[in-house]
Amino acid sequence: MSLELQENKRFWFPLDNAAKIFPSVLSEEIPVVFRISAVLKEPVKINELQKALLLTEKRFPYYKVSLKKGFFWFYMEYLPKPIPIEVDSRVCRKFSENKILVRVLVKGKSISVEFSHILTDGGGAMEFFKTLIIEYSKMLGAEVPENFEYIKPDSEISEEEYEDAYNAYFKEEIPPILKRSKAFHLPFALNQKPRFRHMSAMISIEQIKAVAKQKNVNITIYLVAIYIYVLQEIFEELPFTSKFKRNKVIRLQVPVNLRGILPSKTMRNFSLFVMPEIDMRLGHYTFEEILKTVYHQISLETDAKLLNKNINRNVRSEKKFYIRAIPLFIKNAVLRMKYYSLGTKQYSGVISNIGLVKLPKDTSDLIDYFYVVNPPPNKMLKINCGIISFEDKLVMTFGSVVKSKEFEEKFRQFLEKEGVDMTIINS
Amino acid sequence: MITCKKCGVELPENANYCPLCGEPVRGKESKVIESLNISEHSKKNLEEFKSLTVFQRLKIFWQIVSFILLSAVLITTIIDLFYNNMITWSKYSTSVAVLLFINVSIFVFLNEKILLKHFLSFIALSGFILVLDIFDKSLASATKYVIPLMFIGYIIVLAFFFIAQKIKSEVFKLIAYSLITAGLVNIIIDAIIKVYVTGKISLSWSLIVCVSSFLISLLSFYFNHRIKKVSDLKRFFHL
């Protein structure tokens, strides 16, 4: 099959389970596009980057696809064009029809890749980006150790890389999980269209690690707890008449890269969410209490068996014949209606941590820092947060569609109080 | 080391322009121009024109058209006055020029509002015909069917272009839709003229035209469907 993929240039595949909802809600304001950027120490050498991209894209043919409408489902079809390399002008633009769902953006010292979430998640995109950056550094004379693990341009393409891994892990006889209650949402007024803005801030990993270690948790759990704490503060400051106070659960969506838990080589979407929450009806939570409950909830929910239950719930519905046989335009209309009620209504915020980027030494020497921009939040969610670390630099990027900077400011103040400096690097 | 002034990336030593954004490299630009032997002046003009927005270009077009129309009106009126000592036939050429001017202005200044633009152009044309009727009594009855015909014509042609824009790349679909449009136009012409002549709707020749054009358009749709490979059908209908 992998040979077939290389030779038969007219290949296609159905969308994976996580991607199925995205095409129905696509718009300029909800482009479902995320970005990973590397800011180098020197200006990008454009010729070398172009060469590196040509090498890289040959190894990832399953990313050179465009979104097509079928009668029952959307699907992705190979597009025999190079992955575009453009001047970086606006972040997370929607991909137009009949275009490859990846782009490379360059400006000055920064190289970025933007992927449609229909195609893959942060885990898949990161592998592509790593290959691109390492190949670029090799063009500039960097040495890459033989045993350094990354997807080499001349390595064999495995069939597993483009399978729908959710389906591979689907088991018939697992009970479904219960529906969650509605969650609290930020009360801020929206920006003018185009609404999306982002702001990145840098934190020293050494500093934050030390603080998190004092509390006996890892960095992700520590930041998730701060996120919830800040939301609680905003919730408590609202007048009791506010309609935003009606939903009293503060719940975060924290994506988990399943590749680390369930063995799979897939380069398409393969992540799920854990949803730590606090219930405001039970009264005020101290930061320590939040840390404790977040820690336990995340450890519980990342259990492989429970994740299986979630996969099962998501995949189950698309296995049913009577659902599959509904024409696409009806499915679309239903999914569009359900987008908020099944998704965003259930959580107050999103925080995703891509983790630490590991590169060979020579390649690392070229790079200053990385940052990641989550898909622009919709008008109900309003703000989300993406985190990526490289060497000693952790960069948090807040994506926002609201005018107020209150949330970001409170986050910064909290960290400062804990003794962690946050330097704003772009906004 | 050369960096691009516009996007800030580093270019190879021998680059004449940035491969990313297309910005020419300073210093080398003039050499290229000399070698191509383009005179500075014409190039400057061309560049100025290229840097204009679509609207600015349309405005220039509008100015030229207005000037030509105005001179045409003046010339015909003077000739008419010179030969006949009064305005006779030149009022027709003048009114046509005015109509043209109105239409061009509408299309230039209402670039974005497609519906409004066509509606106004229709009003202008109808007004023109009404005025003609007032001037020339022998044409009076024409308004009764000319204006409805025009109205239907505007709507159908507009609808056709709307559909055509969406399906650019599929030739057979385009043929099919244009045949359907033609068939519909025929039926409506027939109906309006019959109503005008006999006072009731009774279709005759147009039905035959319509049925045959619909049949051919069906064939065209089928063709369009067939030229996609069988594998396309499989992916299109995957369950």
DSSP labels for A265-284? ---S--EEEE--EEEGGG-P
Residues of A in contact with B169 (CB under 8 A): none
Nearest CA in chain B to A319: B239
Of A45, A75, A88, the CB nearest to B238: A75
**pLDDT bucket at B125, cuts 50 / 70 / 90:** confident
Q: How far is CA A207 from CA A219, A224, A408, A417, B124, in A?
A: 11, 17, 19, 13, 74
Lowest-pLDDT choice from A76-85, B15-24, B227-236: B227-236
With 70 as the cut, is the pLDDT of residue B31 above it?
A: no
User: In angstroms, how far is the first alpha carbon of chain B from the final one?
Assistant: 56
Of A47, A70, A86, the CB nearest to B235: A70
Nearest CA in chain A to B4: A108
Quick one: tokens of B24?
């020419």
Helix (H) or strand (E) holding B71: helix B54-84
Q: In this structure, are residues B21 and A105 in contact, taking their beta carbons and an 8 Å threshold? A: no
**Candidates B6, B234, B239, partner chain A, best to mutate (most A CBs within 10 A):** B239
Nearest CA in chain B to A70: B236
Supply angle C-alpha B7, B10, B14, rounded to 5. 115
With 70 as the cut, is the pLDDT of residue B35 above it?
A: no
- pTM for the complete prediction? 0.71
Residues of A in contact with B6 (CB under 8 A): 87
- Given CB atoms, is B6 within the 8 Å cutoff of chain A? yes
Residues of A in contact with B238 (CB under 8 A): 14, 70, 72-73, 75
Quick one: tokens of A387?
């985190």
Beta-bridged to residue A393, according to DSSP, are A204, A390
CB contact under 8 A, A46 and B9: yes
B62 by DSSP, 3-state: which?
helix
- Given CB atoms, is B8 within the 8 Å cutoff of chain A? yes
Sequence-separated (6 or more) residues with CB below 8 Å from residue B191: B201, B203, B206
Nearest CA in chain A to B229: A10
The CA radius of gyration of chain B, in Å to the nearest whole number, is: 28
Q: In this structure, are residues B218 and B180 in contact, taking their beta carbons and an 8 Å threshold? A: no
pLDDT digits (tens, 9 = 90+) for B179-192: 888 888 888 888 88
A-B CB pairs within 8 A amount to 60
- Given CB atoms, is B231 within the 8 Å cutoff of chain A? yes
pLDDT attached to residue B46: 64
- Please state, in angstroms and rounded to a whole number, the distance separating the CA atoms of residues A290 and A79: 48
pLDDT attached to residue B2: 84
CB contact under 8 A, A45 and B9: yes
Give the gap in angstroms from C-alpha B21 to the nearest C-alpha of chain A.
6
Which DSSP letter does residue A345 get? Answer: G
Which parts of A35-144 fold into alpha helices (H)?
A: 46-59, 122-139
Which DSSP letter does residue A60 get? Answer: -
- Please state, in angstroms and rounded to a whole number, the distance separating the CA atoms of residues B144 and B195: 10
Sequence-separated (6 or more) residues with CB below 8 Å from residue A129: A36, A38, A113
Nearest of A125, A113, A138 to residue A55 by alpha carbon: A138
Residue A345: Cβ within 10 Å count: 16
Q: In this structure, are residues B186 and B149 in contact, taking their beta carbons and an 8 Å threshold? A: no
ipTM of this model? Answer: 0.75
Of B7, B12, B238, the CB nearest to A47: B12
Of A77, A85, A324, the CB nearest to B239: A324
Q: How far is CA A387 from CA A1, A359, A393, in A?
A: 36, 17, 10
Supply angle C-alpha A136, A142, A145, rounded to 5. 110
- Please state, in angstroms and rounded to a whole number, the distance separating the CA atoms of residues B92 and B204: 36
CB contact under 8 A, A106 and B20: yes
Residues of B in contact with A20 (CB under 8 A): none
Of B7, B236, B237, the CB nearest to A87: B7
Nearest CA in chain A to B236: A70
**pLDDT bucket at B169, cuts 50 / 70 / 90:** low
CB contact under 8 A, B7 and A106: yes
Strand A249-257 with A349-357, pairing:
parallel
Amino acid (1-letter code) at residue B87: I
- Please state, in angstroms and rounded to a whole number, the distance separating the CA atoms of residues A112 and A124: 15
Beta-bridged to residue A78, according to DSSP, are A65
CB contact under 8 A, A75 and B235: yes
Supply angle C-alpha A272, A5, A119, rounded to 5. 30
Of A47, A50, A325, the CB nearest to B239: A325
pLDDT tens per residue, chain A (427 residues)? 454 555 556 788 889 888 888 998 899 889 999 999 999 999 999 999 999 999 999 999 999 999 988 888 899 989 889 999 999 988 999 998 889 999 999 999 999 999 999 999 999 999 999 999 999 999 999 999 999 999 999 998 888 888 888 888 877 666 655 678 899 999 999 998 889 999 999 999 999 999 999 999 999 999 999 999 999 999 999 998 888 888 889 999 999 998 888 888 899 999 888 899 999 999 999 999 999 999 999 998 888 777 887 787 777 777 777 778 888 888 888 888 888 777 888 899 999 999 999 999 999 999 999 999 999 999 999 999 999 999 999 999 999 999 999 999 999 999 999 999 999 997 6
What is the number of alpha carbons within 13 Å of residue B15 lying toward its C-beta? 22
Supply angle C-alpha A309, A314, A318, rounded to 5. 130
Give the gap in angstroms from C-alpha A411 to the nearest C-alpha of chain B.
33
Give the gap in angstroms from C-alpha B56 to the nearest C-alpha of chain A.
25
**Candidates A9, A16, A72, A87, partner chain B, best to mutate (most B CBs within 10 A):** A87
Residues of A in contact with B3 (CB under 8 A): 43
Give the gap in angstroms from C-alpha B63 to the nearest C-alpha of chain A.
35
Give the gap in angstroms from C-alpha A395 to the nearest C-alpha of chain B.
23
**Spacing of C-alpha B90 from chain mean position:** 28
